[in-house]
């Protein structure tokens, strides 16, 4: 490892960035460096601009594009101490799209199609608690608090802990799962019991189910989180409570689900319906 890469990692760790963010930033800068065949500290404004245009030419996702921007802005501002370059690294405007949501019947069909045992319990937990994939796979047996009927989500997005409700049905499912599999540390261990299940494994489980069921919707593990939030909103749960359960920093992020809560939309009466009264 080069001294420059180690310095970048140290700068990120000093600011308590998550291990996943550290890996992402380092990866982005490695690709930036390899594109030009030079160390990133030898690259300036022209190379940054050219690389951003290259990413657009390749058609990379806006998430990857903006992750790269974040990595470069941190590297030049903090690690190299060249803040004058930061203003020359613009973010891309990410298109706003509506989340894919499954109806309750579709969720039931999706969960029932999962293989019995760990895979089905994994997806049931994701939906019942509205968890991000990283939060789901990092759950530990000790995080299940049946006395208080809550699950502790440790170090979610933004390195924040939070509590989510533990439904009686999920508790029953988890108890059966524990009796059969006896997980000790991680609730959903991978092939190596000392390590949690990898996120790619969860994504693969969903992909296989989508193919098996022939679903037209693009269902990912995050779809279950979107469905959780939307269904709570349709049940008239206060949106501020949903915000807390999801671990959202801003209420406007949670408010997006109001656009896909069809039960709420059906309550809206179009002005066309009232034209016969005029």
- Any idea which residues carry the catalytic annotation? 132, 157, 222, 225, 248, 257
Residues in Cβ contact with 22 at an 8 Å cutoff, skipping those fewer than 6 apart = 9, 12, 13
Angle between helices 118-129 and 221-234 (to 10 degrees): 40
Question: Tokens at residue 189, please?
Answer: 């261990």
Backbone angles phi, psi at 155, to 5 degrees: 50, 60
Question: Tokens at residue 211, please?
Answer: 């193919």
Question: Tokens at residue 76, please?
Answer: 């030049």
What is the 8-class DSSP label of residue 184? -
Q: How far apart are CA 149 and CA 62, in angstroms?
A: 39
In 3-state terms, what secondary structure has residue 265? Answer: helix
Which regions of the chain does DSSP assign to beta strands (E)? Answer: 144-145, 150-156, 160-165
Q: How many beta carbons lie within 10 A of that of residue 264, not counting itself?
A: 15
Angle between helices 19-36 and 3-14 (to 10 degrees): 150
Radius of gyration, CA atoms only, the chain = 22
What is the 8-class DSSP label of residue 45? H
Cα distances (Å, whole numbers) of residue 10 to 47, 70, 79: 25, 17, 9
Residue 178's Cα: distance from chain center in Å?
A: 26
């Amino acid at each position: 490892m080069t001294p420059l890469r180690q310095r970048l990692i140290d700068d990120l760790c000093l600011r308590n960035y998550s291990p996943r963010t550290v890996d992402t930033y380092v990866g982005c800068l490695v690709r930036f460096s390899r594109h030009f065949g030079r160390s990133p500290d030898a690259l300036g404004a022209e190379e940054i601009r050219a690389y951003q245009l290259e990413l657009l030419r390749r058609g990379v996702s806006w998430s990857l594009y903006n992750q790269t921007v974040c990595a470069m802005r941190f590297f030049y501002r903090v690690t190299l101490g060249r803040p004058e370059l930061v203003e020359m690294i613009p973010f891309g405007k990410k298109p706003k799209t509506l989340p894919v949501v499954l109806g309750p019947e579709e969720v039931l069909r999706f969960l029932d199609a999962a293989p019995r045992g760990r895979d089905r319990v994994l997806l049931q937990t994701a939906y019942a608690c509205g968890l991000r994939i990283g939060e789901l796979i990092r759950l530990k047996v000790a995080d299940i608090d049946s006395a208080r009927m809550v699950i502790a989500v440790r170090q979610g997005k933004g390195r924040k802990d939070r509590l989510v409700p533990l439904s009686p049905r999920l508790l029953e499912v988890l108890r059966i799962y524990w009796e059969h599999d006896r997980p000790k540390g991680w609730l959903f261990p991978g092939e190596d019991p000392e390590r949690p299940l990898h996120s790619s494994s969860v994504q693969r489980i969903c992909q296989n189910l989508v193919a098996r069921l022939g679903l037209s919707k693009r269902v990912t593990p995050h779809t279950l989180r979107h469905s959780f939030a939307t269904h709570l909103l349709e049940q008239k749960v206060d949106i501020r409570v949903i915000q807390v359960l999801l671990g959202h920093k801003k209420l406007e992020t949670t408010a997006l689900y109001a656009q896909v809560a069809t039960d709420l939309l059906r309550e809206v009466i179009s002005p066309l319906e009232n034209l016969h009264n005029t």
